Each structure stands twice: as structure tokens, then as C-alpha cells.
Structure 1
């Protein structure tokens, strides 16, 4: 046997195993991306339905405060422009667990129908993506917030994609958001208003910017 055969055979084996390793690594990356884009959404929509069912069951039995495995729940959100079947639970806080099952109600902001700013956060892609179509919302579109006693109807005062800010712009969740940019998008600067703020990622993939939509309370109805 030639003395050069063994080294060449060794090189071929090394190249073969390197190729296999690269294929497996690529398959792993594709699998991870597929899970993030589709798997998490399927799972989160199941969680949304489960939390919604628990909330409705609790209200039907006369309980106002509802505890789910994803956190404390207080309301359901309907956005007619997103379809008749759109009904997303609102969970307290913005932990990954809460946002993976619905809207997160930002700590320290007003409750449904209260004076101040009822601020909600939701994913735009993956994890149920409740605000994927936020850019399609237009000024005047309704957001219905259902509680056991009342349904609060808010109307948007800005288009869904009118305002994009860095994630550090905490003013958007203030009691009365006041845009530091002259002439920038903001609610009417009147005290005592009952506002709602929706916040999500400004782009479908990773971004440090947030898309913001503001609204104000326009009606209250008895809950069915």
C-alpha cells in the first residue's frame, strides 16, 4: 500500500464527518427557526384559548378575579378589524409566560376603564402574535375590553403604525403620554382621560424599537 494512501483516506474521512456535522448543524438551525416562527405560535394560541375559557368559566360562576397557570387575568380584548374570532386574554405583568398566553398588562398602569393609561404589550411575531397586524389599524378603529361587569370600548386616536420609538421610551406608558418630540404622535394632552396604549415590536424580526398605538375610552356597555 502506498504511504500516501492512508493520509488521503484520513483527509477524506475528516471532510466527510465535517460535512455531516455541518448538515446536522444546519438542520438544527432550521428546526429552531421553524419552532420559533410556527411552533411557539401554535402553542401560544392553545394557551390563549385555554386562558380565555378559564376566564369565561370564572365569570359565569360569578368570580371576578381569575387565576390561570399563565398568571392572574382580568379581561379579554376584542379588535373587530382583526375578525369576529379575535379574543385575547389580558394577563397581569409582562413576563415571558404572560406574553406567551395573551396580552401583558404593564405593571403600574391603569386598569380597564380607569382614569389613566391602560397599557398592553403583545408579540408581533411568534408566541401567538396577537399584534402581528397592528400596522393595519386605523384611527377610529375600536378596541373592546371585556370584564365581568362591563365592556369598555376604546377608539384609536392614531393609526397602528404612526409611532415607532426606542424600547427605552417609557413615556408611552405614562398616565398621560407626552411625546418629547415637538409635534410627535401623542394623545390629547387633557388630564382625567381614560386611555389605552398598545405596544409591540416595530418589525417582524428582532428589533429594539416599539410600535405604539394610542386610544381613548368612548363607551361603556354591560357585559353579556
Structure 2
């Protein structure tokens, strides 16, 4: 064997192992992306269903607020435009656990049916993506908020994609959201309203901006 052949062998082995490491790293990255986009959604949909069942069972046993492993809950959301089987739990707070099992209710904002702003957050992509189709919502669409005894019916006053703001725009969760941009999208500026606000990511692949939809209470009925 020549000296040249011997010197090339370690180089070839190095290239082989480097290529193998890069291949495995690429496969690992693809696996991570697949988990984020599909695995988390499958897991979260199971959590949504389990949490919904626990809330319904709690109501049947007389509980108004039900404690789950993902947080306390007192409401379920139905949006007819998203289909007759759409029923998503609302968890208190906007922690990762809460948002991974349904909607998160911004602490300090109004409760269902109360005067003020019942403000909710939900994922648009991954983790169950309850607001994936937010841009399809239209003014007048119903948002039904079920509690143990009463179902509150809100109607959107904006389309789902009428307003996009930076994630730092906390005014959207105020009791009466007042857009600082002159002529910007906002609820009717009348005190004493019973409002609902839906917030989600405006972009599918990064989270710098939020898509916002506003609505107001238009009716209520006994929860079946």
C-alpha cells in the first residue's frame, strides 16, 4: 500500500463520520419540526377533549369551576363557523399548560357575561391550534361561551383578520379596548359593554404580532 493511499484513509473516514453526524443531525431536526407541527397538536387535542370531559363531569356534579391538571376552568367555547363539533375548554391564565389544553383566559379581565372584556388567547398553529382558522371569522359570527348554568352568546363586531398589532399591545385586553392609532379597529367606545376579545398569532411561523377580533354580548340562554 502506498503512502498516499494510507494518508487518504483517515481523511476518508473523517469525511464519512462527519457526513453521518450531519445526516443524523438533519434527521433529528426534521423530527423536532414534525413534533412541533404535528405531535404537539395531536397531544393538545387529546388534552382538549379530556379537559372538556372533566369540565362537563364537574358541572354534572354541581361544580361551577373545575380544577384540571392544566388549571382551573369554568367555560367552554363553541364557534359555529368552525363546525358543530368545535368545543374548546377555557383555562385560567395564559401559561403554556393552559394554552396547550385550550384557550387561556387573561387574568384580571372580565369573566363570561360580565361587564368588561372577556379576553382570550389561543394558538393558531401547533398545540391544538384552536384559532388556526381565525382569518375566516366574519363580523356577526357567534362565539358561544358555555358555563355551568348559562350560555353567553357573543357576536363578532370585526372580521377575524381586521386587526394585527405587536405582541406588546396590551390595550386589546383593557375593559374597553381603545386603539391608540387614530381611526384604528376597536370596539364601540361605550362604557358598560360586555365584550369578548380573541387573540392569536398573526403569522404562522413566528410570533411577533397578534391577530385580534372583538365581539359583544348579544344574548344568553340556559346551558343544555
TM over 0.5: yes
- 1:200 matched residue in structure 2: 200
- Please report how far the alpha carbon of residue 207 of structure 1 lies from its aligned counterpart in structure 2 after TM superposition: 2.6
Q: Deviations over 1:20-68 (max 9, x none)?
A: 0111000000000000000000000000000000000011111111000
- 1:187 matched residue in structure 2: 187
- 1:83 matched residue in structure 2: 83
- 2:92 matched residue in structure 1: 92
Secondary structure of residue in 2 paired with 1:159: coil
- Please report how far the alpha carbon of residue 117 of structure 1 lies from its aligned counterpart in structure 2 after TM superposition: 0.2
- 2:174 matched residue in structure 1: 174
- 1:162 matched residue in structure 2: 162
- 1:114 matched residue in structure 2: 114
Q: Deviations over 1:165-218 (max 9, x none)?
A: 000000000000000011100000000000000000001111310000000000
Question: Are residues 1:149 and 2:146 paired?
Answer: no
Question: Are residues 1:123 and 2:119 paired?
Answer: no
Any unmatched runs of 5+ in structure 2? none
- 1:33 matched residue in structure 2: 33
CA RMSD of aligned residues (A): 0.5
- 1:219 matched residue in structure 2: 219
Number of equivalenced pairs:
224
User: Runs of at least 4 residues of structure 1 off by over 2 A?
Assistant: none
User: Which whole-Å CA distance do the structure 2 matches of 1:119 and 1:113 have between them?
Assistant: 12
Secondary structure of residue in 2 paired with 1:119: strand
State the TM-score, normalized to the length of structure 1: 0.99
Any unmatched runs of 5+ in structure 1? none
User: Which whole-Å CA distance do the structure 2 matches of 1:87 and 1:78 have between them?
Assistant: 5
- 2:61 matched residue in structure 1: 61
User: Which whole-Å CA distance do the structure 1 matches of 2:145 and 2:210 have between them?
Assistant: 22
Secondary structure of residue in 2 paired with 1:131: coil
Secondary structure of residue in 1 paired with 2:112: coil
Secondary structure of residue in 2 paired with 1:176: coil
User: Which whole-Å CA distance do the structure 2 matches of 1:213 and 1:64 have between them?
Assistant: 27
